[in-house]
Each structure stands twice: as C-alpha cells, then as structure tokens.
Amino acid sequence: MNPRQVADYMFNQDYFSQWMNIKMIEVKENYCLIEMPIKKDMINGLKTVHGGVTFAFADSALAFSSNNTGDAAVALNCIINFTKAGKEGDVFRAESILVNDTRKTAVYDIKITNQNNELIAKFVGTVYKIGKKVTEL
C-alpha cells in the first residue's frame, strides 16, 4: 500500500477521527495535512475550542503521518503549546512533518492553523516503532 492507502485504511477504523470530521488533504511518506471544522460540541465553557480537541486533532495528524509507511508506531511523548484560541465555525488544519527518524523512534513537528493561517497550536510528537505492520493490528 502507498502512504495514502495506509492512512485511509487507518482512518476507516478510526471512529474518533471520523467523529471530528477530519478530512485528509495531502498524504506523503511520513507527512500529512489534515483539516477539521470546529463544531458546537467542541466548544468549552469559555466559548473556545476545548484544548483536548486541539490535542486530539494533532494526535490524529501524528498517527496518519507516522504510520503511513505501513510500519506501526505509537505515541511515546507529546507536547503541545496553545498560541491562539479557536472558535466555533473555524476550520483547523494540521500539518505533520518528520524532523528526526531513528531505528525505534521518530519525532514529528505538527503545526495547527485556522482558516486565516493563524497559528493555533504547536505540537511535537515522539513515536515508538513497535515492529509490526499497521495491517497486522
């Protein structure tokens, strides 16, 4: 399978990403660009996007980029910095780029922006390569 086919295979089993209405914009080896509309049930008590939603969106980008070679990897450590509050009606984009790759781990930078290309959050995710194929899980 090519990277897009692996990401689509994962997405078809990922009911949480489906619930978030994530759309795959671009998928290449160790890279993805995804998009998500912000809906009412993603808003917190301060009328902004719940931080957990933003984190989960970035985590989905990490999953689709770090597994799309077909070799399974799981999150080992993730750090997020929130830079701007999102609002209902926004459209978030997450771009995941591989920055370091070793035999057992890899590090990805993920930038989350809104429809105006304003930075919403910066996420760094480290994954652990578990030694299995995505299709074996």
The answer to whether position 105 is within a domain reads yes
**pTM, rounded to two decimals:** 0.97
Structure tokens at 129: 């390569």
The answer to whether position 62 is within a domain reads yes
The answer to whether position 104 is within a domain reads yes
Count of structural domains, the chain: 1
Q: How many other CB atoms are there within 10 angstroms of residue 100's CB atom? A: 10
The whole-angstrom separation of Cα 136 and Cα 122 is: 31
Query: Residue 27's pLDDT is what?
Result: 98
Mean pLDDT by 10 residues, the chain (137 residues): 98 98 98 98 98 98 98 98 98 98 98 98 98 97
Q: Rg of the chain over CA atoms, in angstroms? A: 14
The whole-angstrom separation of Cα 61 and Cα 129 is: 16
> Which ranges constitute the DSSP H helices of the chain?
3-13, 15-19, 51-66
Structure tokens at 70: 């077909």
The answer to whether position 36 is within a domain reads yes
The answer to whether position 136 is within a domain reads no
Q: Note down the domain range covering 106.
A: 1-131
Residue 126: CATH number of its domain: 3.10.129.10
The answer to whether position 75 is within a domain reads yes
The answer to whether position 116 is within a domain reads yes
The answer to whether position 137 is within a domain reads no
Query: Residue 31's pLDDT is what?
Result: 98
